[in-house]
Every structure is written in C-alpha cells, then in structure tokens.
Amino acid sequence: MPAFKPPRPGEVSIPEPVAPDARLVFIGRIHTPWATPADCPKNSRERAEVTATLEVDEPYVKGLKDIGLYSHLIVLYWLDRSRRDLIVQAPSHVPEPRGVFALRSPVRPNPIGVSVVELVAVEGNTLTIAPALMREVLDTNTIGPLITAQAFMPGMIERNYGRVVMVSSVSGQRASQRGHWPAYHLSKFALNGLTLQLASLTSGTDVLVNAMCPGWVHSDMGGPSAPRTPAQGADTAVWLATLPGGGPNGGFFQDRQPLDW
C-alpha cells in the first residue's frame, strides 16, 4: 500500500472495517504507464493515445475464448492503490469539501472502477486495450443532442416557437480539424453540422437553432486553470435561448459574436 498524502483542510476520514463483508476473487491485473496514483491523468483527454494491457490469470484464461469477436469491453477493476478512509474530500476544482458519493474520485470505501475500452489485440492471456473515446465522445457530444432534438423539436415546430442551443466549441470549426484529441474535435465538428441541418428544417418558423462556444471555463472538465467563469461561459447560451422572434437561425457564436463554421 502506498504512502498517502496528508488530508487537505476540510477532509474527513473514518476507520476502515476490521473484517470484509464480501468476498472478491481477483482474476488478473491491469498494466498501465502510470506507477502511482499521482501519475494518473485527471481526465480522458490526457489518456487519449495510451494503451494498457489486461493480464488474466489461470484458470480464468479459458474464459477469454472468442472474446476477439467483440470490439469493446466493459472492465470492472479494483483500485488497489486508492485509500478507502476519506469520506469527505476537498478536490482542487471545487470551492468546498464534498462527500465522497458526490464525487467521481477513486478514493472511496469500495474503490471499484469501471471503464468502457476498445479491444485492440488478444495474445494468449493478455488483452491490449485503449480508451473507447471515439464512441463515448460521439455519443455524448453529438448523438445525445440529436436524440434530444428529435424528442423536443417536433413540438416546437407544431407550436411555432422554440429555441435550440447546441453547446459546441471552436474545436469544431473546420479550420481546427487537426492536431490532438481527434474524438473531441470530430464530435464538435459533427455537432456543428447537426446544428445547420436542424436549422434548415425550421427555416421560416419561430424555432431558432444555433450553436455556441462557451470558451475555456473553470469547471470539472476545464480544470482550475481555466480563465473563464461558468457565468461567462453560459452567457451566450442564455442569450440564444431567449432570442426574440426574427433572431438568428443556423449561427455559431461566442461572446454573442458570430464565428465561422
């Protein structure tokens, strides 16, 4: 067990149970590039290009038969180097301590992790895996807004009133389709295209469909170094959601100013 950092101000620890109340059988181990909890990335963008291996022990190897038929796996794992006694924690990205069950922290009474991963290769008892970022990010940033629009826009069109605001990013601009984090860039590029498609369906009505970029906002995703407040990031979205009749339709905005697609 690694040595833990001292608790931060406001954090509360509890005694660990003397005896376990359930039995868990470990069937293997995960090998990653990170040697300690402090080395682990804070968000998915920092692990986008990383692969890991799952090593399965005997006699469980036979259970891998035909696993190569599948492109993705759901992996449950035990975070063996995570402390289990902090019941109230003080993360750096929130202003006040929070209870462990209000956080995504790996530090918890039962440190069980779950990941959807892409199966890259199978060799004997070893599986090579990678983050399933493309599917996950597309589902969140593009498919989710599409499904939501399909649910609500017919009623808006029937009533001849509605405001649809897509939270996009300058990473979705055509000129930005290069460099790192292709899953994120492509998902926002597709979201911008979806915005234009939906706006074309509501042309001539009082249903206005637009996209906006909040900028780099201080949040769980943006991190503590982000320069913009949540209120600054939300301002353009609120403006678009409350546009009067005859406002823009099929536009892309940041700080209430138009952007190029």
- The model's pLDDT over 16-69, given as tens digits with 9 standing for 90+, comes to 777 767 778 899 999 988 888 888 877 655 565 678 899 999 999 999 999 999
- pLDDT computed for residue 99 by the predictor: 94
Q: 223 and 145, same structural domain?
A: yes
- Which CA distances in Å does 241 have to 67, 115, 135, 147? 47, 35, 29, 19
Q: 165 and 229, same structural domain?
A: yes
The kind and range of the H/E element at 227 are none
Q: 249 and 140, same structural domain?
A: yes
- pLDDT computed for residue 188 by the predictor: 93
**Which residue type sits at 255?**
D
The kind and range of the H/E element at 14 are none
Return d(Cα 48, Cα 46) in angstroms, integer: 6
- Whether the pLDDT of residue 183 is over 60: the answer is yes
Q: 118 and 161, same structural domain?
A: no
Mean pLDDT, residues 124-150 taken together: 88
More confident residue, 250 or 7: 250
Mean pLDDT, residues 99-114 taken together: 90
- Alpha-carbon dihedral 148, 152, 157, 159, rounded to 10 degrees: -160
Q: What CATH number should be reported for the domain holding residue 22? A: 2.40.30.70
Number of Cβ within a 10 Å radius of residue 250:
17
Number of domains in the chain: 2
Lowest mean pLDDT among 45-59, 89-103, 135-149, 204-218: 45-59
- pLDDT computed for residue 49 by the predictor: 63
Query: Which residues have C-beta within 8 Å of that of residue 202, sequence separation ≥ 6?
Result: 153, 156, 157, 162, 208, 209, 249
Mean pLDDT, residues 237-245 taken together: 97
- The band of 2, judged by pLDDT with boundaries at 50, 70 and 90, is low
Q: 96 and 16, same structural domain?
A: yes
Mean confidence (pLDDT) of the chain? 88
- The band of 179, judged by pLDDT with boundaries at 50, 70 and 90, is low
- pLDDT computed for residue 46 by the predictor: 59
Share of the chain above pLDDT 90, in %: 53
Pairing status of strand 12-13 against strand 86-89:
antiparallel
Query: Is residue 5 a part of any domain in this protein?
Result: no
| Structural domain range at position 24 | 12-131
